[in-house]
Homo-oligomer: A and B are copies of this chain.
Amino acid sequence: MSLIIQKFGGSSVADSKRILNVANIIIKSYLEGNDTIVVVSAQGDTTDNFINMANEINPRASKRETDMLLSAGEQISISLLAMAIERLGYPVVSLLGWQAGFLTCATYGSARIEKINPDRIKKELDKKNIVIIAGFQGLNMYGDITTMGRGGSDTSAVALAAVMNADKCKIFTDVEGVFTADPRKVKNAKKLDVISYDEMLELSTLGAKVLNKRSVEVAKKHNVEVEVLSSMNDIPGTIIKEVTQKDKTPICGIAADENVARASVINVPDKPGIAFKLFSKLAGKGINVDIILQSENGENTKDISFTVPKTELEQTIEVLDKFIEPLEKAKIIYEKDVAKISIVGTGMENQVGIASKMFEALYEERINIQMIATSEIRVSVIVSSDEANRALNTIHNKFFGTKDILHNNEG
């Protein structure tokens, strides 16, 4: 007998029909003789609807009350899913985050799980109940409900798999697994059978929306084998696990992130501490700086360039305006319409030429590279937004096969 944890996202339980579909998947696992734990998100648009209701009353509502409101979403989905399983004739019990023993830090809206006390869950499993648990939510030290931020249910499932020492953690979603690139953008993108934690982490960070990043970190830390698969088609998905040296691939996938903007401060004095001052001011405003490049320009001044999320560009420029006020020659340059294309692979560190192969692909298409950044398992380039799709496809073609540009909007 195995212990299986299954997680279903909001789109998988969006209406009665889908809830009954999910109930059947769960019962199949239960009938195979497994201890069956299920983590569920709020139904489809529930969270957005709640946010709209709150905004109508108070657009600046406290995070505590927002968490109180939002956590009602999973309460609805777990009880409805339990009712569906009851209807099909199997023993089931639904548990809220606090009932399932999820204790978090005090931070409303983006709480981290600090501890899971699985006593109640174990008691229900001993009674042979299927256990349906509200993801995304927990209880803090004040006895208040907290939520973990978008995608938090993935983390609930993986953390629970770690604590319960589960045999499998299956994350059901609306895609069939992790692909070499976004299948909506690259037609011949291939589903991966296996991907390592580190690669998945890079892909999560880089904009592949399959799995919440925090959940991959938890999976890696506790060595939880996770399978991402579709709740609509009964076929194997992608397994995320520790990959041995010999199984490492040079490239596992290519990600495109459109929420990128580039900003530069040029002609700043070439003095120690200038970069520190700049980035500590940006950090103070909570701005997420990604790639940083610094170059000297030969006249006792230097240029500092970096990328930020497009949505934070306006705030970034405000900070930069203040920063250059006392600096005589300094100027700000920025570019809103850029994208970041990244290739990821744990095998990359053992193999030269990966980066140059990427650059070659871009050169062949005459796509200009604005910035380059590398890590041990990734190479990222910044290109113009209107060339992003062409860049993604030509690189994918270079590494994975036939060239196939799906969305050629470049004119």
Contacts and interface: CB of A to CB of B under 8 A. Distances in A.
Interface string A375-392: 000000000000000000
A120 interface: yes
Contacts of A93: 64
Nearest to A23: B57
Given A86-B62, A99-B143, A120-B143, A68 B75 contact: yes
A266 B84 CA distance: 47
Grouping DSSP codes into helix (H, G, I), strand (E, B) and loop, the A interface class, with mixed when no group exceeds half, is helix
B94 A80 contact: no
A54 B82 CA distance: 10
A58 interface: yes
Interface string A70-107: 01100110111011101100000110100100000000
A119 to B, nearest CB: 10
Contacts of A120: 143
B68 A79 contact: yes
A369 interface: no
A182 to B, nearest CB: 34
A34 to B, nearest CB: 22
Q: How many copies does the complex hold?
A: 2
A217 interface: no
A66 interface: yes
Interface centre among A50, A65, A69, A99, by most B CB within 10 Å?
A65
Contacts of A79: 54, 65-66, 68-69, 72
A200 to B, nearest CB: 34
Given A93-B64, A120-B143, A57 B84 contact: yes
Given A64-B93, A143-B99, A143-B120, A86 B69 contact: no
Interface in A1-58: 16, 19-20, 50, 53-54, 56-58
Which bracket fits the contact residues of A? Answer: 35 or more
B53 A65 contact: no
Given A57-B84, A84-B57, A72 B76 contact: yes
A60 interface: yes
B84 A58 contact: yes
A72 B145 CA distance: 13
Contacts of A60: 86-87
Contacts of A16: 53, 56-57
A61 interface: yes
A50 B43 CA distance: 13
A52 to B, nearest CB: 10
Contacts of A56: 16
Nearest to A98: B98
Given A16-B53, A69-B83, A96-B145, 5 more contacts: A58-B84, A65-B83, A66-B83, A72-B75, A99-B143
What are the nearest 10 A-B pairs in CB distance? A58-B87, A69-B79, A61-B83, A68-B79, A58-B83, A72-B75, A72-B72, A16-B56, A65-B82, A65-B79
